[in-house]
Amino acid sequence: MDPRRLNYLHLLYLRTVIREGSIRAAAEQLHVTPQTISGQLRRLEEALGVKLLQRRGRGVTPTEHGRLAMAYADEIFRLGDDLVSQLAANEPGGLPGLHIGINALLPRLLVRRVLAPVLDERPAPRLDCVEGARDTLLRELTARRLDAVLSAERAPAGLSTPVLSRELIASPLAAFGTPEFARRLGDGFPGSLDGAPLLLPSTRVAARAMVDDWFASRGITPGIVGEFDDAALSEAFGEIGAGIFLAPAMLEDDIRERYRLEPLGLLEGLDARVFLLTAVTGGEHPAIGRIIRAMDAPAGEAARAAG
The packing angle between helices 34-48 and 23-30, to 10°, is 110
- Please provide the distance, in angstroms rounded to a whole number, between the alpha carbons at the two ends of the chain: 39
Of residues 66, 38, 61, the one with CA closest to residue 50: 66
CA separation, residue 296 to residues 9, 116, 203, 300 (Å): 44, 14, 32, 12
Instruction: Label residues 20-35 b or e (16+ Cβ within 10 Å = b).
Output: bebbebbbeebeeeee
pLDDT of residue 194: 97
pLDDT of residue 83: 63
170-273 shares the fold of 100-168+274-305: yes
Domain range list for the chain:
3-74, 100-168+274-305, 170-273
Cα–Cα–Cα angle for 143, 145, 150, nearest 5°?
100
The packing angle between helices 252-259 and 231-239, to 10°, is 50
DSSP letter string over 78-107? HHHHHHHHHHHHTSTT----EEEEEETTS-
Residue that wins the pLDDT comparison between 6 and 271: 271
**Which CATH number describes the domain made up of 3-74?**
1.10.10.10
Paired with 292 in beta bridges are none
* pTM as predicted: 0.65
Q: Is 203 exposed, middle or buried (0-12, 13-18, 19+ CB in 10 A)?
A: exposed
pLDDT band at 299 (very low <50, low <70, confident <90, very high): very low
> What is the spatial distance between Cα 168 and Cα 301, in angstroms, rounded to a whole number?
9
Q: Which CATH class is domain 100-168+274-305?
A: alpha beta
> What is the spatial distance between Cα 163 and Cα 237, in angstroms, rounded to a whole number?
35
Tell me: the pLDDT tens digits for 152-190? Answer: 988 888 777 788 999 999 999 999 999 999 999 999 999
Residue that wins the pLDDT comparison between 81 and 238: 238
SS (H, E, C) 164-188: EEEEEEEEEEEEEECHHHHHHHCCC
Cα–Cα–Cα angle for 206, 210, 216, nearest 5°?
140
**Which CATH number describes the domain made up of 170-273?**
3.40.190.10
Tell me: the pLDDT tens digits for 4-58? Answer: 467 888 888 998 899 888 998 888 878 888 899 999 899 899 888 899 999 888 8
- Mean pLDDT, all residues of the chain: 85
